[in-house]
Amino acid sequence: MAKKFSLIIHGGAGALEQIKREGNEADYMESIRGILESGRSILATGGTALEAVEHCAMKLEDDPLYNAGRGSVLNEYGEVEMDAAIMDGKTFEAGSVAGITSIKNPTVLARQVLEKSEHVMLIGKGAHEFAKFCGLPRMGNDYFVVDTRIRQWREAQKMGGMMLDHEAAKPSQKLGTIGAVAQDCAGNLAAATSTGGIVNKRWGRVGDSPIVGAGVFADNETCGVSATGYGEQFQRTVLCKMIADFVYFQDMDAQAAAKAGIDYLVRKVQGLGGVIVIDRTGSCAVGHSTSGMIYGQIERGGETLCKLA
């Protein structure tokens, strides 16, 4: 019997009550479902997990609903500054980029780092030079900036500080960091994470999303993980690798490992955020310490499930 594929994606974790009050839930569910189905087409026809997570992350980056690619939050200068990473669980190869200001799809650039460079992470000017070498399209700031982000940035400036993409001085719609994890029909795992970071961020701040082991991780022997939340907390706990260790050392399945990881995050640093996980058997799981998370999954080739909960 042919092995089934699994796919799970997320659009961020946080306080989602405002979405439900304003009746915007259908927009997110339609987006998540459409992206999952396009990922299904790749995996069902023999595509690799790496291809699937790059594709899904790219589609999430293109959707202004989320804090990644177009629709990213603004830094202290009113500009978009993005981070992304991708990892192959078969080879342990990884690529990541940080401080990207004009690349349409940071995850695509991260994939190029994985495949065409001897490095894992490229940042800032060097990353843009590499993108030019790879022939990737560059976009002006106007492409990335959407009205909701401008209002959110102004609120953060009035408050005099930084805030997560799902926070606001007043309740507003939830917009979040994105991620994707897949297991293909050959049993290979891959994961990708992409973000615009924290609203009004300063001093070249980089969160967990482009850090292998913190915001993303994939290993065929254990699981694939993508995270979202306060990046500093995920960096200090190396949370995605911690979840993989729960699978490796304690033989936990995806759900148990996701729960154990979030419990650890809260116990150690009172962490806020969430994770999506696919383990080596193809089981999908979600864990979060926030009041809600946006995600969808296809487990072992089954039905498409989307949730805002």
Of 48, 107, 177, 290, catalytic? 177
Torsion of CA 296, 299, 305, 307, to 10 degrees: -40
User: What pairs with residue 197 in β-bridges?
Assistant: none
Q: What whole-number distance in Å separates Cα of residue 53 and Cα of residue 68?
A: 14
Quote the Cα angle for 78-83-85, to 5°.
170
In angstroms, the CA 109 to CA 106 distance is 5
3-state helix, strand, coil in the chain (%, to 5): 35, 25, 40
Residue of 209, 181, 147, 153 whose CA lies nearest to 295: 181
Instruction: In whole angstroms, give the CA distance from residue 69 to residue 105.
Output: 6
**What DSSP string describes 92-153?**
--EEEEEEESSBS-HHHHHHHHHHH-S-SEEEHHHHHHHHHHHT--B--HHHH--HHHHHHH
Q: Distance (Å, rounded) from C-alpha 90 to C-alpha 105?
A: 24
Please identify which residue in the block is written with the tokens 């955020």. 273
In the DSSP assignment, the letter for residue 2 is P
- Tell me if 6 sits within 8 A of 297, measured CB to CB: yes
Indicate if 45 belongs to the active site: no
What is the CB neighbour count within 10 angstroms for residue 2? 6
Name 269's Cβ contacts closer than 8 Å, sequence gap at least 6: 233, 236, 237
Question: What residues are annotated to the active site?
Answer: 177
